[in-house]
Chain A
Amino acid sequence: MRNSLSLVSVLVFSMLLSQFMATSMAASLDPPDAVTNRQDAAEQPAAKQRTQPPIDLKLLETRLKETKAIGLFTKLELKNQVDDLVNQFRDYYQGRLKPATLADLRPPYDLLLLKVLALLRDADPQLATTIVASREDIWAFLANPAKFATI
C-alpha cells in the first residue's frame, strides 16, 4: 500500500515536472522580448494585432517537409501527430469533443510545437525562428472555425 502510494506520488510529480519543463522550454525558446510583446498584444484591440501578413501554412508545411534537420521517420511521425491534432480540432468543431473547450486543445498544440522546435532549434534555426514567430498566428488560424474549415 505504501509502495503504491509513493509510486503514484512519483508519477504525479513527474507529470507536474514535465509540464513545468515544457512551459519553461516555451519561455526560453521565445525571443527575449516576445513575452513582453505577447502581454502587450493581449491588451491591444484585435484589429491592431493583425499587422503582420497572414501566415502561409502551405509554405511552412513545405519548409518542414524539405528541411534536412529532420530524418524520414521523424517527419512521418510529426506528420501523424499533426494530423491527430487537426482531427481533434475537427472533432471539437463537429461537437464530438464535448465537454472539452477550445482552451483544452491549447496544451497539446503547445506541446507539439515544442517538439518541432526541439528538433529544429540546432539544425535549422531559421525555420525554428519562423515557427516561434508564427506560433500565435497558427493558433489563431486553428481556433477560427471559418479558417479551419479551409484545411
Chain B
Amino acid sequence: MRKRVPACFLFAAATAFAAQSYAAEVSQLKDLTSVIALLALPCGEVVSATETKTKEHMAVCKDGNSYRVYLNPEGRVVAQKQ
C-alpha cells in the first residue's frame, strides 16, 4: 500500500503535466492554423508543429501542406511553403 501511493501520485502528476503540455500545444496549433488562414494559404488545420528556432515553427497541415512560419526582420509574419 505504501508503494502504491507514491506511484499514484506520480501518475497523477504526469497526467496533469501532459494535459497542460497538450493544452499549450493545442493553443499553438490553433494559433498557427489561424495565421496561415489569415495569410490566405491552403491548410485546413495545423495537425502538428515543431519549434525550430525562437518564434519559428514548422507547421504540418491536415491537407498535406507544410509551412515554415516565422517573423521576418520587418516584423511581418511569413508562412513559407515547404
Contact = CB atoms under 8 A, between A and B. Distances in A.
B48 interface: no
B75 A73 contact: no
Interface in A49-107: 70-74, 76-78, 80-81
Interface residues of A, number: 12
A24 to B, nearest CB: 18
Nearest to A79: B75
Contact of B77 (A70, A76, A115): A76
B31 interface: yes
B31 A73 contact: yes
Nearest to A71: B31
Nearest to A72: B31
A119 B77 contact: no
Given A77-B77, A80-B76, A70 B71 contact: no
5 contacts: A71-B31, A72-B31, A73-B77, A77-B35, A77-B77
Interface of B: 27-28, 30-32, 34-35, 38-39, 69, 71, 75-77
| 5 closest A-B pairs by CB | A71-B31, A73-B35, A74-B34, A77-B77, A77-B38
Interface of A: 70-74, 76-78, 80-81, 115, 119
